[in-house]
Amino acid sequence: MPDNPNAEIIAIGTELLLGEITDTNSVFLARQLRDIGVNVFFMTTVGDNLGRIKDAISDALDRAEIVITTGGLGPTVDDMTRQAVADAVGRPLEFHQSLYDTIAERFRGFGSKMTENNRQQAYLPAGAILVENPVGTAPSFIVESQRGLVISVPGVPREMKFLITEAVVPYLLKRYELGIILARILRTAGIGESSLDDQIGADILSATNPSVGLAAHHGSVDIRVTAKADSKAKAMTLLDDMQGRLETRIGEHIFGVDADRLEDVVWRHIQQRQLRVHVTEAGLPGVISGSWQDAAQLLTAAVFDNPQQAFDYYLVDAAGVSLRDFAVDIAERIRSRENVAASLVVLSVPELAENADIEQGSAIAISTATDLRYRVYGFGAKSPLAREWLSRWGLANLWKMLREPPDG
């Protein structure tokens, strides 16, 4: 029996394939398995089709010792997981009167009438281990077969999470001599994924324990460090050692660890150093200043009476001036006149989503005494991309620029 078994997760439901709901169950399951030392190499989503569900389970059993399915355990005709599991392991379904009585009693407790189709929930693959569901009506089960384990839990997130943490994880810990897998996320900003990859180096990125991987987001990149050991203390030591190596190479780009948020880190830096920062936002109000719950320390005086007046001036009178150059001009004039540590300007065309004929729909500029940075985008304020892209780029570069020494 392997000390660190492999698992595969199968999410069942046509609604997932249609994009009607987001599969958060697989993410939760992957993290739970990771934390107890179970490797997850595949995740599959399959619709409500008996043959395809059975094939997905059978294929997964060829690759992994543990297969966990979510969904398809309800009372309706499209709930096919029980039969698919039975078919995949070559066993018939068996009716359990005691399980049927338990389901009926639960309905009585709800004050609801149980319909006849709920009877199918009392069928389990022959020899299955029942996992009672005290927070719902769909029972779960575990099938131990020569091909491996199949664990089936409901798709309702509340029920799934309860059964995984209260029943499935304890079962796996008892069945296998599992090690520990711990993960730590180092948050970086102000550097692109390719540059970060280059600075970290192939020797670290190709390491297997701890392993290091990158995940790019809008304006920031996460570094995930994952360590395996036979105890939590040893895994923590591995994480600490790798974090130290990473900090030696790219420490200037790391702003936080795990749950740290860039907006909070920037705001703490502004407050701790008692910096004066000016933010001008026109067309997309609150894109930067809205990141902070208490922005009273931000200056509101501008070259114009208000940010929107500046944007109106650009749209009407600034013929021949690019949106980028106008944002840069405002940022530099405010920084000089107000004697602030940084002046940040965001301009976004209010009624524009994204139009290939318009080169610059949004512009952002940051000016300090020693540096000037700017960025333009084709989308305007109506685009769903605008707020996230502008805020992440602005916060990342403001963080980098404010940390630079006054002499540059």
What residue spans define the domains of the chain?
Answer: 6-175, 180-257, 263-403
Q: What is the reported pLDDT for 303? A: 39
Structure tokens at 203: 């020797």
Measured CA to CA, the distance from residue 33 to residue 206 in angstroms comes to: 23
Residue 154: cis peptide before it, omega within 30 degrees of 0:
no
So what's the pLDDT on residue 298? 54
CATH no. for 6-175 = 3.40.980.10
Low-confidence ranges of the chain (pLDDT < 50): 1, 300-305, 407-408
Structure tokens at 397: 């570069």
Report the 10 Å Cβ neighbour count for 25: 25
pTM: 0.64
DSSP 8-state class, residue 283? S
Helices (H), 5-96: 14-17, 25-35, 50-63, 81-89
The confidence score (pLDDT) of residue 407 equals 47
pLDDT at 318: 60
Predicted pLDDT of residue 179: 73
CA distances from 127 to 12, 118, 123, 146 (A): 23, 21, 11, 12
Decide which of 3.30.70.890, 3.30.420.40, 3.30.360.10, 3.90.950.20 is the CATH code for 263-403: 3.90.950.20
- Report the pLDDT value the prediction gives residue 59, as an integer from 0 to 100: 96
Distance separating alpha carbons of residues 199 and 220, to the nearest angstrom: 15
Q: How many CA atoms lie within 13 A of 61 on its CB side?
A: 22
CATH of 180-257, one of 3.30.70.2860, 3.40.50.150, 3.30.360.10, 3.40.50.1000: 3.30.70.2860
pLDDT of residue 408: 42
